[in-house]
């Protein structure tokens, strides 16, 4: 299932979402320039700015070798992507779900929320791959946090969804609680399934625990940062027209 849009208007311009999309695209263009210089240049870049779980583990032992400090990668890794599909999928989800959460939190709190969810998602993935030397990168964990906040704030919002049915593609409108809930169940399932495999991440190099963890952190952090109007909450929402 691929989300195309939602029916959830905003009251303010999502400047932070726009800025994040532009920044992610610009950094990806820089990655492409490094790729043109050979695989080693891009790999060195990822090894410095992406999360390398084994190096993060070493940092707790006082053995860190990353020149920028391994903790910095919990933030910097959120702006790196491994390919066009990786970047495009993440930016699509951020575009659809991020504007409403920024509208609710405000610009300043939204960027704090976004970066915190991404950093915590990176730590969630690290816990399950302490000695991995494969760089972990991407905005997926932060965007999963946005999706977690969205599902509790706007569970009844309708998501226009591209749905493949065998060789035919059609569009349907699904409530956010179903679309995002099903997405989370998939990530958690694949994360659990990957525990029995000798892999650094999930199947296909996907950091399922970062996705599931980011989602949960979004559910928790969103209300703490003002996702709901004062006196309201996920179980006591105002009526929306």
81 is an active site residue:
no
The DSSP string of 52-112 is -HHHHHHHHTT----TT-GGGHHHHGGG--SSHHHHHHHHHHHHHHHHHHHHHH-HHHHHH
User: Active site residue: 77, 132, 140, 194, which one?
Assistant: 140
Six-digit token string for 40: 């080693």
Give the DSSP H/E element, type plus range, for residue 28: helix 15-35
Six-digit token string for 236: 């006591």
Tell me if 221 sits within 8 A of 150, measured CB to CB.
Answer: no
59 is an active site residue:
no
Six-digit token string for 207: 């950091």
Q: Which residues contact 148 (CB under 8 A, 6 or more apart)?
A: 117, 180, 184, 214, 215, 216, 217, 218, 219, 222
Report the SS3 class of residue 26.
helix
User: Active site residue: 77, 86, 194, 211, which one?
Assistant: 211
C-alpha span between 238 and 92 (Å, rounded):
28
C-alpha span between 79 and 215 (Å, rounded):
18
Strands 158-165 and 2-6: antiparallel
Q: Which residues are catalytic?
A: 140, 211
């Amino acid at each position: 299932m691929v989300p195309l849009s939602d029916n959830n208007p905003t009251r303010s311009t999502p400047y932070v979402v726009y800025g994040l999309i532009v920044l992610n695209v610009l950094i990806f263009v820089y990655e492409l320039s490094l790729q043109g210089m050979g695989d080693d240049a891009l790999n060195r870049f990822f090894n410095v700015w992406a999360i390398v779980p084994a190096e993060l583990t070493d940092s707790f032992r006082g053995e860190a070798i990353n020149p920028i400090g391994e903790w910095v990668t919990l933030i910097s890794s959120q702006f790196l992507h491994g390919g066009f599909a990786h970047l495009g999928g993440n930016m699509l989800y951020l575009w659809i779900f991020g504007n409403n959460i920024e509208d609710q939190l405000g610009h300043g709190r939204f960027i704090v929320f976004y970066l915190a969810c991404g950093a915590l998602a990176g730590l969630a993935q690290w816990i399950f791959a302490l000695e991995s030397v494969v760089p972990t990168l991407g905005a997926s964990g932060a965007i999963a946090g946005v999706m977690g906040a969205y599902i509790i704030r706007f569970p009844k919002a309708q998501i226009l969804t591209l749905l493949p049915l065998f060789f035919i593609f059609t569009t349907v409108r699904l409530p956010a609680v179903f679309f995002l809930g099903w997405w989370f169940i998939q990530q958690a399932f694949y994360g659990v399934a990957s525990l029995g495999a000798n892999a650094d991440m999930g199947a296909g190099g996907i950091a399922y625990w970062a996705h599931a963890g980011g989602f949960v952190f979004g559910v928790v952090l969103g209300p703490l940062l003002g996702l709901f109007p004062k006196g309201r909450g996920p179980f006591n929402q105002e009526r929306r027209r």
